[in-house]
Structure 1
Amino acid sequence: MSEQGARRGQEDDWWRQLYGEDAAEGGEGAGGGGAAGDAAGSGAAPAAGAPTGAGPADVGPSEASDTLDERVASVLRTVGPPGWGDRPPPQPTPADAPDRAAPAGNAQTVETPPRAAPDETPTPGPVPPGEPPARRVPLPPPPPSEPIPLKATGPGARPRDVDRSAPPPAPAVTYIGDRPPTYEAEPAALPAADPAALDELVPDTALEGAQYGSLTLRAASQRGDSARYRGDVRRDALLTARFGAGRHALILVAVATGRPAVEGAHRAARDACGWIGSAVGRSYTQLAEDIHADRRGDLKAGLQRLTDRSYGKLRARALERGGPPEQYTAALRCLLLPADPDCRTRVFFGVGAGGLFRLRDGAWTDLEPVATDHGTPAPLPATDAPARPGPGLPHGPGTAEYPVRPEPFLFHAAFARPGDALLLCSAGLAEPLRQEPAFAAHLADRWSTPEPPGLVPFLATAQLRAKGHAKDRTAVAVWEA
């Protein structure tokens, strides 16, 4: 017999001894005679010399318990990790029941060793000669864990506390009236471009802001609905400039609008802002002193001369271009704002259509000044060419005689109180503000907040639409702290 066959025979004898099949079942061929089996079943000692099938180790009396549980514990102490044989056996389960049922008088419960914890894997030890290796009991599957809730990731994934009782937020107001305006709210067509004059392109929207001393400035200029639809260039021009520094600085805001349906109207508006800005910048020191001293008469006379000079240059430019002087012109409105927080005098001057309003305690006041010169143009300073005969027709650059400005000069000086908001605007915003009460109420509600709005909220309010008002619009607001 080979070594493998001998070892298998030893293993079979060991299992028969372990589970006691020969002792539990009588009859021949079961490993012992019938008498021995009956003696084992009745508890009587077998006759002397009778074979028992238990082997030499079982001969003679023994004080130790020789039950199946003790044998299993002995095996576990031998081949298992420390402490296995000392653990209480688990309760039998249907899967652990023996293949054959033992007689009722000698019933034995076959039990399996306790299962190791998921993180404890029994380490097999050396197997004694003549004993089979320990059976590997399959590890039970881990208990089912709680399902992991699906969570959104990325911006906005953080849960928010929603007040179910609170009413939903009101939709944003984009227009005033019972129906929307004719044109779409967003730009549609770009203006035509000249490859040789790309510097004359005007953006759809201009936005500006600043804060000096007690004042906060917000300014926005944008194409009207009609110009956006037709691809026309914005005719409104906006200039914000600071001259000087510190408490002696002077801020100029100029808004100009070229004439409608005139070629080059946007250039006239830009030239008007540029020339009045240059004139104020050269004289800002004297102007700042007059504002601090509240010399309104001197201010009006000086600003009127500067305005007339700027319009004279506009007419001269028209002659250079070969166009009619009365077409190359623009409505011009300006604000002078001292940066000194101790000086709250605000000076307005200009020519042409537009608006000047004050927002105080949630209500608008129209500050549009009354014309006092009845359209009589003032002569240019003595530095220009002498005037030809004829009242009110000074001679400027070129050879033609022309009036200095098309409309009366406007001037107004006001003292600002904390909490006031001063609004300077072109005709595109002044008209709906005067003609649409709901429009004025909405602007007053948005701009009566304790803190001035940011640039984007200011623009969103300034571009509120109203049916029948599709012009370019420019708004300059100054909040007083």
Structure 2
Amino acid sequence: MSQQGDTRGHEDDWWGELYDPGRADAGPAAATDSVDDRFDSAARTLGCRPGGGAGPRPAAGAPWGPREEAGGAAPGPDAAEGGGPQGWRSPGGGEGPGAAPPSPARSAARTAQPPPARDSGTRPSATSGSGAPPTVPSPAGPAAPGPAPASSRSGSGAPPPDPARPWRTASAGFVGSGPPTYEAEPTTLPVADPEELGELVPDTVLDGARYGTFTLRAVSLRGDSARYRGEPRRDALLTARFGTGDGALVLVVVAGGVRAAPRSQHAAREMCEWIGGAVGRSRIRLTEDLHTADRGALKSGLHRLTARGYGRLRARATTLGLDPAEYTASVRCLLLPVHPACRTRAFFGAGGGGLFRLREGGWQDLEPTPDPAAPAHDITPDAPVGGPFLFRACVARPGDTLLLCGEGLADPLRGEAALADHLAGRWAGTEPPGLAGYLADAQTRVKGYADDRTAVAVWEA
């Protein structure tokens, strides 16, 4: 065996001894050197003294190398500095607002370095040794401070960039009287269990399709409040096509778990899976009822299907030892036949949310009125997000845009006229937006509304 092969096998043993939990009782590996020996060898290779002293200092602005902090060792990665939600550390070696001043030795080393030679064929580095972008003076001298741009002073549009908080994005738009309280982009990930990584919920889910006469866009994203607190997205989204050709049926399910309830995101996902499986198994009958516009058969069949889904959630809650009133979810579904000759769209579900239609530039609230003769507990007894079964069948016209959404978007759409006007202006065109454009539109923020947002829009050609 070659020497290289022997070395590789030895490294595998060393790695397994340190990190393989299954080798805890196997005893030490037959190594000829220790971890300290390996560290000393690596330190000598990098030009550092194994005794703890620093070797040659890297040039200012170098991306790697030891970092000095005034007063001793550098703080850990979880040390919070500044006034942001997560704290901020300057990206250029720990200097910036809230950081300790540099040591005299470091300042002298920087002073002793010659300035870089001018070369028209090279570009300056994006960052300097101080962690801030280099300032390029204007040939005419520094500009006098003037009024802020109109977009920065108004309450609509993107927030002005904050140099003290680089995580603030200038591309996150908002409407209303002022910027929302929370940051526009994700900050904290939810806590993960190494034994249940399959249960993690991504921050954002985006989907789309085009069939027959309609174009579909769907998105579900974590709310600003959950992003700041490191909580998982409670909303769930399912988009599925059952069957092929003109006889296919598209189903969209939007489900929302109870706020602050344990495992609420799992209840929403289970409801999506149950509804999806039941619709898929009944696709042929449902497609026939949609093509014949048999409203009575559709309503009764979908009512039974939804009630069974909530029954399964109650049984699951009992198995998990949870309160059935907390292990539940609101659910809203949309059935879209693919055949271009069929423009019947069927909505059903229970719980909060919204169903809207954009027609001729204006929004119409299509939220069904519950049947007064139906008992209030016909779907989800003892569940706060439940209530009467909701159903509506409508015929789409060319140029319509149908919007199905959870409470996170329905509430600001009803409560903030500026958001309704903004989305109407964006979506009233003849060509639906792409996925990226639709995501940007759906996450237009409004102060005071920080819940998860799940929205499905259908453009009719």
- Mark yes or no: TM-score above 0.5: yes
Q: What is the match of residue 420 of structure 1?
A: 400
Gaps of 5+ in 2: 1-119, 124-149, 152-156, 159-170
- Is the CA contact 1:255–1:273 (under 8 Å) kept in the aligned structure 2? yes
- Is the CA contact 2:406–2:453 (under 8 Å) kept in the aligned structure 1? yes
Please list, as runs of the form range in 1=range in 2, the aligned pairs for 1:400-439 lying within 5 A after superposition: 406-439=386-419
2:308 is equivalent to residue 309 of structure 1: yes
Deviations 1:399-446 (A, max 9, x none): xxx889931000000100000000000000000100000110000000
Q: What is the match of residue 279 of structure 1?
A: 278
Number of equivalenced pairs: 299
Distance in 2, matches of 1:442 and 1:330, equals 29
Alignment-mate amino acid for residue 240 of structure 1? T
Change (3 A) 1:361 1:173: farther
Distance in 2, matches of 1:331 and 1:416, equals 25
CA deviation after TM superposition for structure 1 residue 374, in Å: 3.5
Distance in 1, matches of 2:421 and 2:295, equals 33
CA deviation after TM superposition for structure 1 residue 176, in Å: 1.0
CA deviation after TM superposition for structure 1 residue 468, in Å: 0.2
Q: What is the match of residue 374 of structure 2?
A: 374
- For residue 184 of structure 1, give the secondary structure of its aligned residue in structure 2: coil
Change (3 A) 1:197 1:441: same
Deviations 1:246-271 (A, max 9, x none): 11101000000000010100000000
Q: What is the match of residue 463 of structure 1?
A: 443
Which among 449, 453, 458 is matched to residue 473 of structure 1? Answer: 453
- Is the CA contact 1:311–1:404 (under 8 Å) kept in the aligned structure 2? no
- Is the CA contact 2:378–2:388 (under 8 Å) kept in the aligned structure 1? no
Please list, as runs of the form range in 1=range in 2, the aligned pairs for 1:77-476 lying within 5 A after superposition: 174-372=173-371, 374-376=374-376, 406-476=386-456
Deviations 1:2-57 (A, max 9, x none): xxxxxxxxxxxxxxxxxxxxxxxxxxxxxxxxxxxxxxxxxxxxxxxxxxxxxxxx
- Is the CA contact 2:352–2:406 (under 8 Å) kept in the aligned structure 1? yes
Deviations 1:343-373 (A, max 9, x none): 0000000000000000011100000000115
Distance in 2, matches of 1:254 and 1:248, equals 20
Alignment-mate amino acid for residue 273 of structure 2? G
Distance in 2, matches of 1:375 and 1:340, equals 36
Distance in 2, matches of 1:359 and 1:179, equals 26
- For residue 364 of structure 1, give the secondary structure of its aligned residue in structure 2: strand
Q: What is the match of residue 147 of structure 1?
A: none
Distance in 1, matches of 2:365 and 2:350, equals 17
CA deviation after TM superposition for structure 1 residue 179, in Å: 1.5
CA deviation after TM superposition for structure 1 residue 326, in Å: 1.3
Alignment-mate amino acid for residue 226 of structure 1? S
- For residue 311 of structure 1, give the secondary structure of its aligned residue in structure 2: helix
Q: What is the match of residue 105 of structure 1?
A: none
- For residue 451 of structure 1, give the secondary structure of its aligned residue in structure 2: coil
Change (3 A) 1:179 1:196: same
Deviations 1:230-261 (A, max 9, x none): 00000000000111111110100000000001
Distance in 2, matches of 1:173 and 1:188, equals 14
- Is the CA contact 1:221–1:237 (under 8 Å) kept in the aligned structure 2? yes
Alignment-mate amino acid for residue 430 of structure 1? A
Change (3 A) 1:460 1:265: same
- Is the CA contact 1:219–1:475 (under 8 Å) kept in the aligned structure 2? yes
Deviations 1:430-470 (A, max 9, x none): 00100000110000000111201000000000000000000
Deviations 1:308-359 (A, max 9, x none): 0000000000000011111110000000000000000000000000000000
Distance in 2, matches of 1:480 and 1:312, equals 35
User: RMSD between aligned alpha carbons?
Assistant: 2.5
Deviations 1:121-176 (A, max 9, x none): xxxxxxxxxxxxxxxxxxxxxxxxxxxxx9999xxxxxxxxxxxxxx999767011
- For residue 346 of structure 2, give the secondary structure of its aligned residue in structure 1: strand
TM-score, reference length from structure 2: 0.62
Change (3 A) 1:323 1:183: same
- For residue 294 of structure 1, give the secondary structure of its aligned residue in structure 2: coil
Deviations 1:187-225 (A, max 9, x none): 000001111111110000000000000000000000000
- Is the CA contact 2:401–2:460 (under 8 Å) kept in the aligned structure 1? yes
Distance in 2, matches of 1:368 and 1:190, equals 34
Distance in 1, matches of 2:414 and 2:337, equals 29
Alignment-mate amino acid for residue 186 of structure 1? E
Change (3 A) 1:359 1:403: closer
- Is the CA contact 1:218–1:476 (under 8 Å) kept in the aligned structure 2? yes
Gaps of 5+ in 1: 1-149, 154-167, 380-391, 394-401
Change (3 A) 1:436 1:360: same
Distance in 2, matches of 1:255 and 1:323, equals 23
Distance in 1, matches of 2:226 and 2:341, equals 42
Q: What is the match of residue 36 of structure 1?
A: none
Alignment-mate amino acid for residue 401 of structure 2? A
Distance in 2, matches of 1:286 and 1:377, equals 28
Change (3 A) 1:461 1:403: closer
Distance in 1, matches of 2:304 and 2:334, equals 16
Alignment-mate amino acid for residue 412 of structure 2? P
- For residue 191 of structure 2, give the secondary structure of its aligned residue in structure 1: coil
Say which one has the larger Rg: 1
